[in-house]
Amino acid sequence: MKAALDIRDLSVDYHTRAGRLHALRNVDLLVPDGEVVGLVGESGCGKSTLISAVLRLLAENAEVPGGEIVLDGTDLLSLSDAEMRLRRGRDVSVVFQDPMTGLNPVLTIGRQMIDIQHREALSRAARRERAVDMLARVRIPDPASRMDSYPHELSGGMRQRVAIAMALMMNPKLLIADEPTTALDATLEVQIIELLQELQGEIGCAILFISHHLGVIAELCQRVVVMYAGSAVEEGGVRDIFHAPAHPYTKALLDCDPGRIRERRQTLPSIPGSLPDLTAPPPGCIFADRCTKADAGCGATQPPRIDTAPGHWATCHFAEAMR
């Protein structure tokens, strides 16, 4: 299986006043070519650090003690800053939760879509044509006239479409979608998900789709990675993850989703406890103190990565028993 993105054993530390904060610890993550991989995790799981690491835009106080981020055969961590700059936007691009993050408010949509092609050896007219074509592909009505609009003149849903068009303009190998539908209403969220599904079929780029919304992940993704407190705890096909979770955290998370509980309940499930202090992570399993299955061994030794099915693994001593 050829991979668009293969993160191996990646660790990221932050130097803070409280000491060294181990924000990511030995994370493995695989995005196969042309697939949509969902990244699920709650606040503090390390999603943002992971994205910054892939883009090589980590904060100044961050350090990468080890690991590889292989994008289309090249380890990004070995590139010079200049080489990395060439890859951002071309090989890997991002769609953010707030589309305005990626759009310049004082330039027209068209100007920005043309500017992004500055490395292409194309005439201005050809660039414009490509931009209009791309806007049409994200189903923006009347794309040619929309080229002259400013971002603020568009509705939230339209802006997110433009942001997606910008991200796909250079045919990236990998699109990172960071909660792209969270700020949108339900009926618009559906439209964006369907759009991403269609575009992925047409363009064939791999997508790393980050969301805390399990319903969206279930619908859009082929594979899912679950992260907790800086560790990837489980990875597998979407059916494996949703129907036969092998990590207690994944199972607890699924059980908590009010959308999965069909009948009315007075008492709803939750995961008691709080995230561990990542300046001094526990010696054993990172989830042990909140886990209902944990025994003395869990607190003492780190669980290995256990394969429970082809392409499905979890870091839990009880992974086999969970199924």
Partner 1 sequence: MSGPLLKLEGLHVRFSAARGIRSLLAGREKQTFDAVAGVSLEIEPGECLAIVGESGSGKTTLARAINGLTPIAEGKAWISGEPLHDKPDWTAVRRQTAMMFQDPVGSLSPRMTVRNLILEPFRIHGIAIGEPERKARKLLAAAGLSQEFLDRYPHQLSGGQARRVGVARALALDPALLLADEPTAGLDVSVQGEILTLLNKLRGELGLAILIITHNLNIIRHVADRIGVMYLGRLIETGPVEEVFANPAHPYTRALLAANPEPDPDARLTRIALKGEVPSLLARPKGCEFHPRCPWAHEDCATRAPDLASVSGARRKARCLHPFPDFECRSEAAGGK
Partner 2 sequence: MSIAERSSFKYTAVGRLMSDPLAVAAVTIIALLVLCAVFADAIAPYDYKALNVRERFAPPSFVHLLGTDNLGRDTFSRLLFGARIALFVGLTSVGLAALIGLMLGMVAGFGPRWLDNAILFLFDTLRAYPTIILALALGALLPPGLGTVILVVVLTTFSEYGRVARTQTQALSAQEFIDAERAMGASPARILFMHILPNVLGPFFILAAINLPVVITIEAGMSFLGVGVAPGTPSWGATLKDGFDYIRNTPWLIVSGGIPLVLVTLGFTFLGESLRDVLDPKLRKER
Nearest approach, Cβ of 301 to partner 1 (angstroms)?
25
> In which residue are the tokens 């130097």 written?
15
161 binds partner 1 (CB under 8 A): no
Closest to partner 1 by CB, 61 or 155: 155
Do 147 and 109 contact (CB within 8 A), yes or no?
yes
Closest to partner 1 by CB, 124 or 264: 264
| Pattern 261-300, partner 2, x by CB under 8 A | --------------x-xxx---------------------
Closest to partner 2 by CB, 61 or 301: 61
- Sign, CA torsion 210/268/238/224: positive
Nearest residue to 191 (alpha-carbon basis) of 180, 178, 176, 204? 180
Bridge partner list, 39: 210, 225
Report residue 193: phi and psi, to 5°: -65, -45
Looking only at the bridges linking them, the beta strands covering 206-210 and 174-178 are parallel
User: What are the CA-CA distances from residue 153 to residues 148, 150, 180, 270 (Å)?
Assistant: 10, 6, 19, 41
- Contacts (CB under 8 A) with partner 1, residues 172-191: 185-190
139 binds partner 1 (CB under 8 A): no
- Out of 257, 279, 281, 282, point to the residue binding partner 1 (CB under 8 A): 257
Residue 311's binding partner out of partner 1, partner 2, none, with CB under 5 to 8 Å set by partner kind: none
18 binds partner 2 (CB under 8 A): yes
CA atoms within 13 Å, Cβ hemisphere of 265: 13
Looking only at the bridges linking them, the beta strands covering 231-237 and 206-210 are unpaired
201 binds partner 1 (CB under 8 A): no
17 binds partner 1 (CB under 8 A): no
Nearest approach, Cβ of 23 to partner 2 (angstroms)?
9
Nearest approach, Cβ of 85 to partner 1 (angstroms)?
34
Do 175 and 206 contact (CB within 8 A), yes or no?
yes
- The count of chain residues that interact with partner 2, using the rule CB under 8 A, is 9
Q: Which residues bind partner 2 (CB under 8 A)?
A: 16-18, 21, 61, 275, 277-279
